[in-house]
Homo-oligomer: A and B are copies of this chain.
Amino acid sequence: MTHFLLLVLDLLGTFVFALSGALTGVRRQLDLFGVLVLSFAAGNAGGITRDLLIGATPPAAIADWRYLAVSMLAGIVTFYRYALIERLKNPVQLSDAAGLALFAVAGAQKALAHGLNPAMAALLGMLTGVGGGILRDVLVTQIPTVLRADLYAVAALAGAAIVVAGDLLQVPPAVSTLAGAAVCFGLRFMAIRYGWHLPRAATGGQEPPA
């Protein structure tokens, strides 16, 4: 897979995630600037956090103006065509699953390339995928969906883990990347379709604090 193709896929993932941020912003009645901030945060916070943690400064999303451009584009389209984007909910969810798959495998590869140990490389891949959604939700004071949603982070972790395992077993990167992305996308797709989710702990009927 060429470097150029990877960049295109990365920007596509950013665009899709930025859409989810912009939708949240419009729903919470933020102004245009707020919507653009949520677009950028949802599209790039995962990758930025990963880059800060592995010491790759300035983060790609800051150094390369194209990440900013696609994030703004997603925000502006959503702001002025909100009804349209809302109606596209199914396509949006599918491309979100695709974005998650891509970010997870790309994030794991970048972490491996910076010499992280396998367990942390897999986790940083997952973080690349879920970080944007976490910041998006924290900014509108909502408990991050990913902490409660059906197999969202687990799908990302599975995809990233496959990349890391492929690296340990010296499988060609293109193969493990494709396999990881396919597994992540597949798991997420099945979770949406069949409502798969992780267990919650038994708290003996105790209510969460308000």
Residues of B within 8 A of A89 (CB): none
A79 at the interface (CB under 8 A from B): yes
Residues of B within 8 A of A143 (CB): 28, 30, 139-141
A200 at the interface (CB under 8 A from B): yes
**Cα-based distance from A63 to B55 in the complex (angstroms):** 11
Count of chain copies: 3
Contact B153 A33 (CB under 8 A): yes
- A35 smallest CB distance to B (angstroms): 7
A interface bracket (residues with beta carbon within 8 Å of B) = 35 or more
**Cα-based distance from A20 to B77 in the complex (angstroms):** 34
Contact B116 A62 (CB under 8 A): yes
Contact B209 A154 (CB under 8 A): no
**Cα-based distance from A204 to B87 in the complex (angstroms):** 13
Contact A59 B53 (CB under 8 A): yes
List A162-210 residues whose CB lies under 8 Å from chain B.
197-204, 206, 208-209
Contact B119 A65 (CB under 8 A): yes
A123 at the interface (CB under 8 A from B): yes
Contact with B along A139-156 (1 / 0, CB 8 A): 111111011110001100
Using A27-B209, A28-B143, A140-B143 as known contacts, list a sample of 10 further A-B pairs with CB atoms less than 8 Å apart, ordered by residue number in A.
Answer: A30-B200, A31-B147, A31-B197, A33-B146, A48-B53, A53-B59, A62-B120, A79-B201, A83-B204, A138-B139
